Structure 1
Amino acid sequence: WGMRPQAGSPLVQQRITDGIDARLQALGWRQAPDGQVTLAAHIITQQRQTLDTFYTGTGMGGWGWRGGWGGGMGMGTAQTTVRTYDVGTLVVDMFDTSTQQAIWRGTASGTVPSSPERVNAAVEAGLTKMFTGFPPGPAPAK
């Protein structure tokens, strides 16, 4: 590891690092002090908002016979609720250790769960999506 992910929680950092290590080991990769590949992971968190508006209305229509009398009345209200949530993005880069050339980048994004119980599932789902199709095939011939 050249740079481990820095998250708000050391537990989340460890879950991400362990999840990446486990996936690479399952593919036959192993850690070595002077390995050929260096990993760098970054976590970006952004706060987003959504607006939900609910409209209500009441009204009365005209009355009378053959247009003799009439009238009307209407009233409506709108209530808007602002919902704030965090979106997290994990970026994992692999570099050739000797040349420092990038050889692979994986990304995963999702809504950051508000409960600690759901963080594990979110990390696992993100890493599974990120490593689908890894390792990449050879570079196209020029």
Structure 2
Amino acid sequence: MRRSLQLVLAGALLLGSSVVAFGDNVRTDYDHQANFSQYHTYSWGQVKTADPFYVGRIQQAVNSQLQAKGWQMVPSGGSVTIFASDNLHNQQETQTMYDNLGGGWGTGWGAGWGWGGWGWGGGWGSGVGEATTTTTNQPVSNLVIDLFDGSTKKLLWRGLATADLSTNAAKNTKSLDGDIGKMFKGFPPKPGK
């Protein structure tokens, strides 16, 4: 029974760490001296993407977020100018699969140091068996959205999203919308935060 619980916990830990590794990553930063309450209009600068269809999708998602916060888009001369760009690249991912975990008592998980008996010492598994490692190229996209003061041209705010890309365009668009929503969740920044 104890070994079964240990296997379940080990599987949950491995699954949880792999989910985090493949999830989207969204970060923002801003000029902490800027008074965002003075900005209410925006205009679009250049939007550069590897896929021309994403120009409109990015603009639409950002427009939706900003307009929900009371900002108004103007054709030119807004108090903020927005620029966006993406960078597509392949990231190598390596995965190792083990078979024939072995049986019997020997080195491995079990009694020994550590929490709940995890660690080196007696436990199950006398050997790892065969290991197969594969390396694949995973398409990854980095999206950067910058907001500049319309008159001083000073960078006010930056959002960065990094995501693994799918071969399914609808899934990528949904991911894009979600990432932009996360970027603007706490926007505009509150003074002193």
User: Normalising to structure 2: TM-score of the pair?
Assistant: 0.57
Contact 2:50–2:88 (CA under 8 A) maintained in structure 1:
no
Question: What SS does the aligned partner of 2:188 have?
Answer: coil
Tell me which residue corresponds to 1:124: 177
Greater relative contact order, per chain length (Cα 8 Å cut-off, separation 6+): 2
Tell me which residue corresponds to 2:145: 92
Tell me which residue corresponds to 2:88: 45
State the distance in 1 between where 2:101 and 2:67 align: 64
Normalized per residue, which structure has more helix?
2
Normalized per residue, which structure has more strand?
1
Question: What SS does the aligned partner of 1:3 have?
Answer: strand
Q: Residue type of the partner of 1:16?
A: I
Q: Which has the larger radius of gyration?
A: 1
- Superposed, which structure 2 residues align to 1:20-99 within 5 Å? 20-32=62-74, 33-56=76-99, 77-99=130-152
| Number of aligned residues | 123
State the distance in 2 between where 1:58 and 1:92 align: 47
Tell me which residue corresponds to 2:155: 102
Gaps of 5+ in 2: 1-43, 103-128
Q: Deviations over 1:62-118 (max 9, x none)?
A: xxxxxxxxxxxxxx6442211211221111111111111111111221111221121
Question: What SS does the aligned partner of 1:114 have?
Answer: coil
Q: Residue type of the partner of 1:36?
A: S
Identity between Structure 1 and Structure 2 (%): 34
Gaps of 5+ in 1: 60-75
User: Normalising to structure 1: TM-score of the pair?
Assistant: 0.76
